[in-house]
Chain A
């Protein structure tokens, strides 16, 4: 008997306690809605902002909460496990590089004083580091840090994401404390992507780079420095008081990890977070637009959707079949229906190498406008005949293709339905072959040469400098999964790495793209939109659709009173 009683007593006690606590909770909430005094959280400051009439006036300090949809695995942005947007969004205001990526996809000197100087033969790059540039512990940023950064990035012991370019450096020489020259074994035209971020030698030398910055970034060169990381909840960065440039206006920024985008919207409305940068969905954008006092910016991002043709699967190796499919898909309508509700400026993408925010962009793929009659004509001209069920047959084989894409992605599934319907109009049968992302990317996509797929819809992440894409389009490229090979294109792409004149280089890239538009290895669809929303009490945020991400100018953000 006594044994039953005891737990019962415990239960009672616990319940009483929790009720008491809940009652206190109400009181605490009331207090924190009053401005200033206690709380310190974002909510109280919002209260102050809304009561004030003098908007636009900069307030001293203050803190901002950023709703992030993923927690990073580790904080080190240069390691493979840290090569995620979740990491960069936090570390971008901490670690500076030789160059910084601007929203218009151009590179601007950041740690260096003026542009780097190059010589052609041998190819060298000379950086002059800003005199005042220093680490958050007050130590100057020197030529030795640049050399240490290079040596760290090429050290095979460390899980570095990309060594491209660094592995072509044969020598690094400190001319003086603030000047450093690197010699390359051959010209490397996209050199502006290198040396970002710069690592502090005096802090990291002799340490295990695979471990040392996993839980915190111990030194910073940017306007903020690392403060804390409560795993599973939030990470906080605070103003770097030793920053060499214009000091950050905010005291701190907390990144709160909220995976669910609906929760982010509720939290933004409830002023538990001040900003969010979600993967935009139409209903989410609508919800956010209804919240008062919230500003949003959208842009065409670097992630672009496309439909790949597998050259290893006949008759997709025939140009007219690919052309018929391209003419049979209404890309205007796809962009109009799927993307325009989020980004009103959305248009189909017409280039495989440049995205349409870039000055170098030329619309070579606009020859594939929606034209079902032209599509049928192409098939008939090449001896295909309409067979059973209105499906064309070429050489006795019906035009029926598998369409592979990722499951669970609403946009892609919708897209599949639309494309399926449109292609059936021109007598081409599409069979859905969707699978979960891990399987289709890890197993199906790389086995294209073995005929594992016919048509594949996925997205590439473009980069402001297109050299990363070469591996997709060159005959022997590591990411050429559809067996496309045009020697001329490969030669042009190979040449781009050595062309130091930006105009000449862009022209060569576009020449290659024009050839690809004729070959049609891939049909570009559109760029995915980015979406950045924030509480209006914050001034200064500006969407940066490049890899730099939304926190690229966090040092300039301030609260309005």
Chain B
């Protein structure tokens, strides 16, 4: 197992290098981060030139890339072009914001989806199964921005109708929440995060419950499950130990891959709810044609995708002892 992990990690290094070069070159070619500045009236020419000089924008692109590699390793991804602000604190904060959102949403989605999926499979073609199927197709087809907006509108209408605030519609906490003590802060944070969590969870739930149902159906009808039942095992044990464990493998693939990508940020959800996470960070960086923050974002997400892929492989090994890697 250890050699497998090491081998996989080593293999990912050339992938990351190739990805970083590709993205660096294409973003650098796409536009000039100081272009917008140059068209603003009265911006001092000397200032623009000095910024270009400082960030090596006049050097050949390969040299720029070399500077980036140096900064990435020795200076936590370097600084932004225009304001020369360190990138890492901003990125770290965005990552933490996204992580809170994603972990909560995914956990909620997995728990509900697995339960719904198993029940649907066991009671195939029942009323419950049909309802769950309809709801999950609804979840699939709902545009994220629409769901997010509807949730906001509902929250505001509820507030206006009852005068009671359950959810906030935007941001991570109220101004001055931290000063009100830890309990107030946590409750306030949850009131802010609830709607985005529901939004993301609703979409993931739809996917996961379909996967659970499909793979459970496949397993439930297999020989070894029939054998387990035939030898008089209690139904609960049959489902949990014999069926579900085997059904988990495809679900693991979907969840781990989805999670790796989700850390990159839920762009729409984060924008609508003003969460300032990874997605919002990426869009802003891309909009300003600023190669350093885009690269930093990309490297973080790429590494996470690699790690989560690896994690999926490791989990397979535990779920199914027949799978051996070394």
Contact = CB atoms under 8 A, between A and B. Distances in A.
Pair from one complex: yes
A40 B41 contact: no
Interface string B156-190: 10011001111111111111110110001011101
Contact of B90 (A1, A156, A231, A262): A231
A442 B36 contact: yes
B280 A33 contact: no
A260 B272 contact: yes
Interface of A: 1, 3-4, 11-12, 14-15, 18, 21-22, 24-30, 32-33, 38, 40-43, 47, 63, 65, 71, 73-74, 79-83, 156, 159-164, 210-211, 214, 231-234, 236, 254, 256-260, 262-263, 266-267, 269-272, 437-439, 441-443, 445-446, 460-461, 463, 468-469, 471-472, 478-479
Contact of B46 (A4, A156, A446): A156
Contact of B165 (A33, A159, A469): A33
Contacts of A468: 41-42
A270 B149 contact: no
B187 A40 contact: no
Given A256-B171, A263-B274, A445 B166 contact: no
A504 B194 CA distance: 62
Contact of A80 (B37, B173, B287): B37
B169 A266 contact: yes
B47 A15 contact: no
Contact of A11 (B34, B37, B107, B186): B107
27 contacts: A1-B241, A12-B111, A21-B190, A25-B190, A25-B194, A26-B166, A29-B164, A30-B164, A41-B177, A159-B47, A161-B42, A162-B43, A231-B93, A233-B173, A258-B171, A258-B274, A262-B152, A262-B272, A266-B153, A266-B155, A267-B169, A269-B160, A272-B174, A438-B30, A439-B30, A442-B31, A478-B45
9 A-B pairs with the lowest CB-CB distances in the bound complex, closest first:
A442-B35, A81-B83, A232-B276, A254-B175, A29-B165, A28-B187, A73-B83, A270-B156, A41-B174
A383 B155 CA distance: 66
Nearest to A18: B104
B190 A22 contact: yes
B297 interface: no
Nearest to A442: B35
A291 to B, nearest CB: 10
Contacts of B271: 259-260
B274 A257 contact: yes
Given A233-B172, A442-B34, 17 more contacts: A24-B190, A25-B191, A74-B85, A80-B47, A161-B42, A162-B44, A211-B84, A214-B85, A231-B93, A263-B152, A263-B170, A263-B272, A266-B152, A270-B165, A438-B289, A442-B39, A479-B41
Contacts of B80: 73
A29 B31 CA distance: 47
A73 B44 contact: no
A74 B81 CA distance: 13
A304 to B, nearest CB: 13
B273 interface: yes
Contacts of B69: none
B50 interface: yes
B180 A38 contact: yes
B135 interface: no
Nearest to B90: A231
Contacts of B165: 29-30, 32-33, 43, 270
A272 B159 CA distance: 11
Contacts of A163: 44, 46
Contacts of B248: 4
Contacts of A40: 176, 179-180
A358 B4 CA distance: 74
Contacts of A210: 84
A476 B283 CA distance: 37
B289 to A, nearest CB: 5
Nearest to A167: B44
A475 B274 CA distance: 46
A39 to B, nearest CB: 8
A232 B41 contact: no
Contacts of B35: 438, 441-443
Contact of A25 (B93, B94, B187): B187
A437 B89 CA distance: 28
Interface in B10-62: 30-32, 34-48, 50-51
B47 A28 contact: no
A471 B82 contact: no
B107 A15 contact: yes
Contacts of A156: 46, 50
Contacts of B172: 232-233
Nearest to A263: B170
B184 A28 contact: yes
Contacts of B180: 38, 40
A91 B166 CA distance: 34
Nearest to A273: B170
B276 A233 contact: yes
B318 interface: yes
A270 B169 contact: yes
B184 A469 contact: no
A108 B48 CA distance: 32
B304 interface: no
Interface string B102-122: 001001101100000000000
